[in-house]
């Protein structure tokens, strides 16, 4: 398989271990193992620690431990452990699903812009991928009428991501249901990348129920990376019909075989204490949202954003006449700040910002970003002619049917 370069991942890996203020990250700031154990009552903590230290580090159950699959299955309706395959992050779940479901010449409709993997793997397989575009000028509205016109009798798969990376847009439950019905009516399947599940904006809209709950044409992909700050565990999963899970598992035999045993055990702990982890996440997001709102208001001549409706990501639009890659490189190299270049998503003059970082780091990262902008202005970088930040970053709006 020949596949295009994953632009964002290449860029992130250049800087992510080097900068002090990473405010581009797509997940909530990572927990330590001590943090995870620390949320348990003392007695449980001691018992758990002893169990972890004595866990034989042999190969684990290939599809993920029964404990982990049962806990995950319980987060969906009509789903048992046989419907879950634990994978090396959501990225492996997506990769396996796209490879098992698609063949050369198939037609796919995939949301765009997007986490690049969602379209790139299908293109590498030789599928015809029609983008379902979210456009800045419509506030990144999911236009369901447009989608209807993109699906043909040859469409095998529709790929969505909600809440959305990189815009923070979101499908309502009714919209996701309508897409499911469209897929079923045309004999297609619907792959819903739900990497940002459990990431409601505090006081904001409810997330749509996982697509798996609607029936066998819906495939949900999930992860512990984004909502719980556990990306280093590399634990993701798919929730899908048992035959599809079996086919993906058979393909995975050639790739990673099974999840890491210790990671599987830590994932079980995280899911058992999911409510406490969600509380931690909500507290971080609440603080960072307030910081961000104040910062955008203070620098409204230079920046604007579309706050996320769900998830952790949004686009920062800037007025300076400088390409996003050049700006992002300068921020990283000279200010130790990471904001991802919008060019990786085909959205020039934007930077992707994540609101999951530790609040003090997030606040300092924004201050340093403002300093960089001021320095660039002082050095003679102009504002883009006709740059209209208010028009570039309208409020995120709900789709047609919500
Ligand atoms: C939409 C989306 N899907 C999947 C992934 C992969 O996540 P992981 O492999 O860490 O679970 C990401 C990571 O950024 C993402 O944004």
Please tell me the pTM assigned to this model. 0.96
**CA nearest 163: which of 130, 200, 108?**
200
Any atom of ligand 1 within 6 Å of the Cβ of 90: yes
SS3 state of residue 316: strand
CA distances from 231 to 38, 68, 297, 352, 398 (A): 18, 16, 32, 19, 30
- β-pairing, 235-239 vs 218-223, is antiparallel
Assigned CATH topology for domain 57-273? 3.40.640
**CA nearest 222: which of 156, 172, 282, 163?**
163
Quick one: average pLDDT of 194-209? 97
pLDDT at 22 over 70: yes
Contact 227, 281 (CB under 8 A): yes
Q: Is the peptide bond before 304 cis (omega within 30 degrees of 0)?
A: no
CA of 292 to the centre of ligand 1 (A): 23
Any atom of ligand 1 within 6 Å of the Cβ of 161: yes
| Distance separating alpha carbons of residues 226 and 56, to the nearest angstrom | 28
Is the C-alpha dihedral spanning 63, 66, 68, 70 positive or negative?
Answer: positive
pLDDT the model gives residue 139:
84
Any atom of ligand 1 within 6 Å of the Cβ of 194: no
pLDDT at 138 over 90: no
DSSP 344: G
| Residue boundaries of the structural domains of the chain | 7-31+276-392, 57-273
Query: Among 119, 165, 196, 256, which is best to mutate for testing ligand 1, by the most ligand atoms less than 8 A from CB?
Result: 165
CA of 227 to the centre of ligand 1 (A): 11
pLDDT at 380 over 50: yes
pLDDT at 398 over 70: no
Quick one: average pLDDT of 168-188? 97
pLDDT at 401 over 50: no
| Distance separating alpha carbons of residues 29 and 284, to the nearest angstrom | 9
CA distances from 143 to 70, 171, 176, 310, 401 (A): 36, 10, 12, 18, 9
pLDDT the model gives residue 184:
97
Contact 330, 298 (CB under 8 A): no
**CA nearest 28: which of 198, 166, 161?**
198
Among 57-71, 254-268, 351-365, 387-401, which is the least confidently predicted range?
A: 387-401
Any atom of ligand 1 within 6 Å of the Cβ of 165: yes
**CA nearest 140: which of 328, 305, 387?**
305
| DSSP-assigned states of every residue in 233-295 | G-EEEEE--HHHHHHHHHHHTTTT-S--HHHHHHHHHHHHTHHHHHHHHHHHHHHHHHHHHHH
Any atom of ligand 1 within 6 Å of the Cβ of 79: no
Provide the Cα torsion 27, 31, 37, 42; round to 10°.
Answer: -110
pLDDT tens digits, 180-199: 999 999 999 999 999 999 99
Any atom of ligand 1 within 6 Å of the Cβ of 121: no
Query: Among 22, 223, 352, which is best to mutate for testing ligand 1, by the most ligand atoms less than 8 A from CB?
Result: 223
The pLDDT-based confidence of 394 (bands split at 50, 70, 90) is low
pLDDT at 397 over 70: no
pLDDT more than 70, % of the chain: 97
Assigned CATH topology for domain 7-31+276-392? 3.90.1150
pLDDT tens digits, 327-372: 999 999 999 999 999 999 999 999 999 999 999 999 999 999 999 9
Any atom of ligand 1 within 6 Å of the Cβ of 113: no
CA of 42 to the centre of ligand 1 (A): 33
pLDDT tens digits, 147-161: 999 999 999 999 999
pLDDT tens digits, 311-326: 999 999 999 999 999 9
Residue minimizing CA distance to atom 14 of ligand 1: 26
Judged on CB neighbours under 10 Å (0-12, 13-18, 19+), 378 is exposed
CA of 225 to the centre of ligand 1 (A): 7
pLDDT tens digits, 69-90: 999 999 999 999 999 999 999 9
| Distance separating alpha carbons of residues 190 and 160, to the nearest angstrom | 8
Any atom of ligand 1 within 6 Å of the Cβ of 291: no
Edge to edge, the sheet with strand 313-318 lists: 303-305, 313-318, 350-354, 340-341
Contact 144, 175 (CB under 8 A): yes
pLDDT at 402 over 50: no
Q: Which atom of ligand 1 is nearest to the CA of 93?
A: 9
pLDDT more than 90, % of the chain: 93
Residue that has been written with the tokens 């400088």 in this structure: 322
């Amino acid at each position: 398989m020949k596949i295009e370069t994953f632009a964002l991942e290449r860029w992130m890996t250049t800087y992510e271990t080097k900068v002090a203020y990473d405010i581009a990250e797509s997940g909530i700031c990572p927990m330590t193992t001590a943090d995870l154990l620390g949320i348990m009552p003392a007695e449980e903590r001691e018992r758990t620690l002893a169990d972890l230290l004595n866990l034989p580090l042999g190969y684990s159950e290939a599809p993920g431990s029964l404990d982990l699959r049962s806990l995950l299955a319980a987060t969906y309706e009509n789903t048992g452990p046989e419907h879950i395959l634990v994978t090396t992050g959501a990225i492996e779940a997506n990769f396996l699903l796209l490879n098992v479901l698609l063949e050369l010449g198939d037609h796919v409709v995939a949301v765009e812009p997007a986490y690049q993997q969602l379209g790139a793997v299908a293109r590498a397989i030789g599928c015809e991928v029609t983008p379902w575009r979210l456009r800045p000028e419509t506030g990144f509205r999911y236009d369901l009428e447009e989608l209807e016109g993109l699906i043909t009798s040859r469409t095998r798969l529709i790929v969505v991501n909600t809440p959305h990376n990189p815009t923070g847009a979101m499908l309502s439950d009714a919209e996701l249901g309508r897409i499911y019905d469209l897929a079923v009516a045309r004999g297609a399947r619907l792959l819903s990348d739900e990497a940002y599940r459990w990431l409601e904006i505090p006081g904001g809209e409810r997330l749509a129920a996982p697509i798996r709950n609607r029936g066998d044409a819906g495939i949900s992909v999930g992860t512990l990376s984004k909502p719980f700050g556990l990306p280093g565990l590399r634990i993701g999963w798919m929730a899908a019909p048992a035959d599809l899970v079996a086919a993906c598992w058979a393909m995975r035999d050639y790739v990673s075989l099974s999840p890491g045993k210790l990671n599987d055990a830590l994932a079980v702990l995280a899911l058992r204490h999911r409510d406490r982890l969600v509380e931690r996440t909500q507290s971080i997001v609440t603080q960072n949202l307030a910081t961000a709102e104040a910062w955008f208001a203070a620098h409204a001549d230079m920046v604007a954003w579309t706050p996320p409706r769900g998830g952790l990501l949004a686009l920062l639009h800037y007025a300076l006449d400088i390409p996003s890659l050049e700006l992002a490189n300068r921020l990283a190299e000279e200010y130790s700040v990471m904001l991802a270049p919008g060019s990786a998503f085909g959205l020039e003059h934007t930077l992707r910002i994540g609101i999951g970082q530790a609040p003090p780091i997030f606040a300092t990262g924004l201050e340093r970003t403002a300093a960089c902008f001021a320095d660039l202005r002082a050095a003679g970088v102009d504002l883009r002619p006709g740059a209209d930040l208010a028009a570039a970053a309208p409020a995120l709006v709900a789709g047609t049917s919500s």
